[in-house]
Structure 1
Amino acid sequence: MLESKSIAYEKAVLIGIITKHQDEDKLVEFLNELEFLTYTAGGEVVKRFTQKMEMPNPKTFIGSGKMEEVKAFVEQNDIGTVVFDDELTPAQLRNIERTLKAKIIDRTNLILDIFAQRAQTSYARTQVELAQYQYLLPRLTGLWTHLERQRGGIGMRGPGETEIETDRRIVRDRISLLKKKLKTIDKQMATQRSNRGQLVRVALVGYTNVGKSTLMNVLAKSEVFAENKLFATLDTTVRKVVIGNLPFLLSDTVGFIRKLPTQLVESFKSTLDEVREADLLLHVVDISHPQFEDHIESVHQVLNEIKSADKSTIMVFNKIDAYTYETIEEDDLVTERTKLHYTLEEWKQTWMSRIGDNALFISALNKENLSDFKERVYKEIREIHVTRFPYNKFLYPEVSEE
């Protein structure tokens, strides 16, 4: 579904901290991503608050002085939503809500909200609902703050606890039911995969918003939903593609992200079965993003988790049309040259050179270098085919046909 142009964005502020594990540059990078997440969810970021701390305050995440500063800004500017870059504990959430009297959302809750908006099929909706309930269960007491106004008293404490315990039981029962439902759907999907015959399977993997769906649309001439927002695709889409005379199955999977909620990793692991069972991975990277190397590492971590890191992989560096770099004047003797100043050709001489012909540079949007891309993919799929069906070797010419 396309976003309505008349959407009313909620005013929001972001909060993050600098720690010994997260320096200022890393925090800025995470807050940039958090702002994009907030925009994707329907929010407009008005201001960012940051604080340098040894570790998060166990009661309120940030210090009391910074909390007063945030409170004053929220009240003066009619801010409805405060978004924290890290997952808050139930106690922190309760204490912050009590102080700020605004809607408090952490990174995990924000991502879950986006997933809930984006889920189109029954399978995706079930996965998201399961993750939401798993997130909600330890935080249920926060929903009963209205009881605090009663200050306990005769007849109040017992029923309050009973209500919470009743809700916990309802949520646990719902989690159990959703897990059973997912198992049933997983079996159906496994049957579908086994019925696809012996076609070679290729899976698109990568960080969120790197252009996987756009690339799939180009290759499969299909209309997979693609948008410049995070998590535009949740459901695995599979299409039959033919390059030259060779058919194969191409699947587009959910994008990965740093600090991905554990609840989502768990509930979406079954979606990643397409990756586990693939013969070849096309790891799509947004080369125009300043932190694309971090994105690659995040994807590798998830691939390791699902035991798919050792699969045959072609690195596809997408969005070369959007790639820019900073220049240094010849007479500038002060500015230190960093990766921000690398041209694409210079990047190709770095660690990328060790990948050899498994590093491809394209623009799926503008269809740049697609013939080279198709030829390389064809060559890889042909080798898999010849290994699987050696008696059909004569069917496959050495060079792909455009």
Structure 2
Amino acid sequence: MLSQPETSEALSGGSTGRALVIHPVSKTPPGRVSNQVASRSTGARLDEAVGLARAIRLDVIRAEVASVSRPRPSSFLGSGTVENFAELISEYEIGLAIIDAALSPVQQRNLERRWQAKVIDRTGLILEIFGERARTHEGRLQVELAALTYQRSRLVRSWTHLERQRGGFGFLGGPGESQLEIDRRLIGERIARLKRDLDATRRTRALHRKARRRVPYPVVALVGYTNAGKSTLFNQLTRSSVTAGDMLFATLDPTMRRLGLPSGRQVILSDTVGFISDLPTHLVAAFRATLEEVTEADIIVHVRDAHHPDSEAQRSDVLNVLADLGLDQPTEDGLIEAMNKIDLLDPTTRLGIAQQRLRNSQNVALSAVTGEGCDGLIEMIDRRLESASRVVRLDVPLTDGKTLAWIYQRGEVLGRRDDNEAAHISARLPEEDIARLRHRQRLH
């Protein structure tokens, strides 16, 4: 928060909870092509920004689009636009202005001084949401690391979230703000400590993944844009009750459950944090330990909101985040696109999705709310895993304990009979492991 002598209440006659959302749109000079994503509408982007604000129960009084020819170094917005919003903020007694873009500390500070209201940018708002939603120890460490990385270049802010009764990380201000500034050394020390703790967490996760491989259960990870319905689908498939709702980032901490498939095979289903456009890079870095679960998955189910007008643009955003994690192009066998919320579609649109399904074997249409199509998703997962492995018979000398252990670690042992010389095993193994064993001439 800004380390000015005024509290949030002194900055404005209005409450910090009364918010104005501003979505900047770049003006395109005549004869030039806009670099904005053509399929992402301005209205949808503004609605998303409002949804982010309401995710932490802010009272959005006004939501406006602002044209920006070129971001001003001092205020981001043009002087005329700044004055127009100053009048609006005063008239509606708004205490918080949210700029749906990345602001520099100088821009943020100058806007606050002119508007006499708290100002946060898109990154600060997302971090505030994550700070409020994190429930596990790991989740809180990850969000705090991202928040401090964000704050490090903003030494005009104060570290007050530890004193706040509500969740979040203090970007919104609030009663009792201490005004204590954090210097670079203290932030650096805390960041170093958080990184050590998260490195330990990453090692623990790696051990857990190694243990799961010994069982082994294939891992199926649900990914998708925030509010696409991942957690609702997770609950529908596993009969669980993880937090789900019609809001952005309803789920932050990852959840795993065992899921039985029609073939009798057991898999681990993982629900992960939702993605969003312009996700801060340091937030992706902080959550890398969690998101690495996705890259280790045997199958990724990309849950898409088929009812959203920007579904294709959201798809690109999700694939870009996966690419940032090192998963450049999921294979056809390793990716399923679940077109969710078909219960909200009109008959014509539903027919179009059904026709698309005929052209693309990676797609399945469903409703996580009604359950329609969910059996088809489960069957598709089962078929994908079936095609990626097969059952073989193995004769392994009892003295070759290393190979026996390797088979149990890498495959699903369906049966075993021992005699005086060998273990005769029937096992389901991935094709790449079968090739390794064939090289050692142990297959029949």
TM-score where L is the length of structure 2: 0.74
Q: Does 1:375 align with 2:379?
A: yes
Q: Is the 8 A contact 1:288 1:324 kept in 2?
A: no
Structure 1 runs (4+) deviating above 4 angstroms are 387-396
Residue 314 of structure 1 aligns to a residue whose secondary structure is: strand
Match of 1:281 in 2: 300
Structure 2 counterparts to residues 20-35 of structure 1, below 5 A: 20=28, 21-22=35-36, 26-35=41-50
- Counterpart Cα distance in 2 of 1:141 and 1:390: 57
Structure 2 counterparts to residues 71-110 of structure 1, below 5 A: 71-110=86-125
Match of 1:200 in 2: 218
- Counterpart Cα distance in 1 of 2:135 and 2:158: 28
Residue 270 of structure 1 aligns to a residue whose secondary structure is: helix
Structure 2 counterparts to residues 1-400 of structure 1, below 5 A: 10-19=17-26, 20=28, 21-22=35-36, 26-141=41-156, 167-196=183-212, 197=214, 198-244=216-262, 245-308=264-327, 309-311=329-331, 312-324=334-346, 343-349=349-355, 353-356=358-361, 358-386=362-390, 389=411, 392=414
Could you tell me which amino acid in structure 1 is paired with residue 372 of structure 2?
A: E
- Counterpart Cα distance in 2 of 1:348 and 1:213: 24
Deviation at 1:276, TM superposition (A): 1.0
Q: Is the 8 A contact 2:255 2:270 kept in 1?
A: yes
Q: Give CA-to-partner distance per residue, 1:82-129, whole Å, 9 cap, x none.
A: 000101001101111111111101110000000001000000000000
- Counterpart Cα distance in 1 of 2:330 and 2:375: 27
Could you tell me which amino acid in structure 1 is paired with residue 324 of structure 2?
A: E
Question: Closer, same or farther in 2 for the Cα pair 1:49/1:390, shift >3 Å?
Answer: closer
- Counterpart Cα distance in 2 of 1:181 and 1:167: 22
Q: Is the 8 A contact 2:155 2:184 kept in 1?
A: yes
Match of 1:400 in 2: none
- Counterpart Cα distance in 2 of 1:213 and 1:60: 39
- Counterpart Cα distance in 1 of 2:292 and 2:133: 20
CA RMSD in angstroms comes to: 2.5
- Counterpart Cα distance in 1 of 2:240 and 2:122: 33
- Counterpart Cα distance in 1 of 2:96 and 2:110: 15
Deviation at 1:385, TM superposition (A): 4.3
- Counterpart Cα distance in 2 of 1:360 and 1:221: 20
Could you tell me which amino acid in structure 1 is paired with residue 84 of structure 2?
A: E
- Counterpart Cα distance in 2 of 1:16 and 1:188: 41
- Counterpart Cα distance in 1 of 2:142 and 2:338: 29
Could you tell me which amino acid in structure 1 is paired with residue 17 of structure 2?
A: E
Residue 183 of structure 2 aligns to a residue whose secondary structure is: helix
**Percent identity between the two aligned chains:** 36
Residue 62 of structure 1 aligns to a residue whose secondary structure is: coil
- Counterpart Cα distance in 2 of 1:230 and 1:390: 39
Q: Which has the larger radius of gyration?
A: 2
Q: Is the 8 A contact 1:318 1:362 kept in 2?
A: yes
Q: Give CA-to-partner distance per residue, 1:291-315, whole Å, 9 cap, x none.
A: 1111111111011111223241011
Gaps of 5+ in 2: 1-14, 29-34, 160-179, 392-409, 416-425, 429-444
Q: Is the 8 A contact 2:134 2:252 kept in 1?
A: yes
TM-score where L is the length of structure 1: 0.82
- Higher mean C-alpha displacement, 100-109 vs 41-50: 41-50
Deviation at 1:377, TM superposition (A): 1.5
Deviation at 1:54, TM superposition (A): 2.1
Q: Is the 8 A contact 1:319 1:364 kept in 2?
A: yes
Q: Is the 8 A contact 2:73 2:107 kept in 1?
A: yes
Gaps of 5+ in 1: 1-7, 145-162, 326-341, 397-402
Q: Aligned residues, how many?
A: 352
Could you tell me which amino acid in structure 2 is paired with residue 254 of structure 1?
A: V
Could you tell me which amino acid in structure 2 is paired with residue 202 of structure 1?
A: V
Q: Is the 8 A contact 1:17 1:27 kept in 2?
A: no
Could you tell me which amino acid in structure 1 is paired with residue 97 of structure 2?
A: V
Residue 72 of structure 2 aligns to a residue whose secondary structure is: coil
